[in-house]
A = this chain, B = another copy of it.
Amino acid sequence: MPVRPQSVSRKDRRRESEKLILQAAEKVFAEAGFGGATMQLIADVAGLPKANLHYYFPTKEALYRQVVEGIFHNWLTAADVFDSAPGPVEGIGAYIDAKMEISRRHPDGSKVWASEVMHGAPVIQDYLETTLVDWTEGRMAVIQRWIDEGRMDPIDPRHLLYMLWATTQHYADFGHQIETLNAGTPLSDAQWEAAKASVKAIILKGIGARPSPRS
């Protein structure tokens, strides 16, 4: 049996290099913002010469765009739990759990996204106007259905979604402030669970979510 060259084909190496660069870029963009980030610093974090970055990504903006698009993709897919849920307790509860987990595991991505939107979404405005609008309208319809079925109070679905985004992403975007207020130490596992529980408790009770009738 001939030993396969452990799958280090050109394409694989290319993908790995791109991934390495994208990870470094996400970190640097999160820490310094687009304007404050430098290709040199990204290169240093990735452990590659700067010229190599420009071989894989022609410009700083192209690299940034790809980072943001990846984050946007995660952002959307992490919300599939919404549709399959029988009611608001399960659906919104699971959505909060999922988004809190993203804030915990990928705070850099959340920060880059926040920064992009705060600066007027210069590179992903088209996504906002198409994909995000569609996604939002779909979830609003789901929430409206729950309201019509009497499973929760008649809350404006739009503002409920904003509140879900705001509260969950806050733990990533303002993680530094939260850490400072936590005696300068990162939240422990128990504290993260407490945060999740608090958010879920307040919101689910706040919208008058009633558990599904079927046990």
A interface list, Cβ under 8 A from B:
30-37, 111, 114-115, 117-121, 125, 128-129, 132-133, 136, 153, 155-156, 158-160, 162-163, 165-167, 169-171, 173-174, 176-178, 180-181, 184, 194-195, 198-199, 201-208
Which of B32, B159, B171, B173 is within 8 Å of A199, CB to CB?
B159
Among B121, B170, B199, which residue has its beta carbon within 8 angstroms of that of A177? B121
Give A34's nearest chain B residue, CB to CB: B36
A31 and B120 contact, Cβ closer than 8 Å, known pairs A163-B202, A202-B163, A208-B205: yes
Q: What residues on B are CB-neighbors of A120 within 8 Å? A: 31, 176
How many copies altogether? 2
B117 x A159 contact (CB < 8 A):
no
Chain B residues with Cβ below 8 Å from A155 are: 198, 201-202
Nearest CB of chain B from residue A147's CB, rounded to whole Å? 13
Q: Does A119 contact B32, Cβ atoms closer than 8 Å? A: yes
CB of B32 within 8 A of CB of A132, answer no
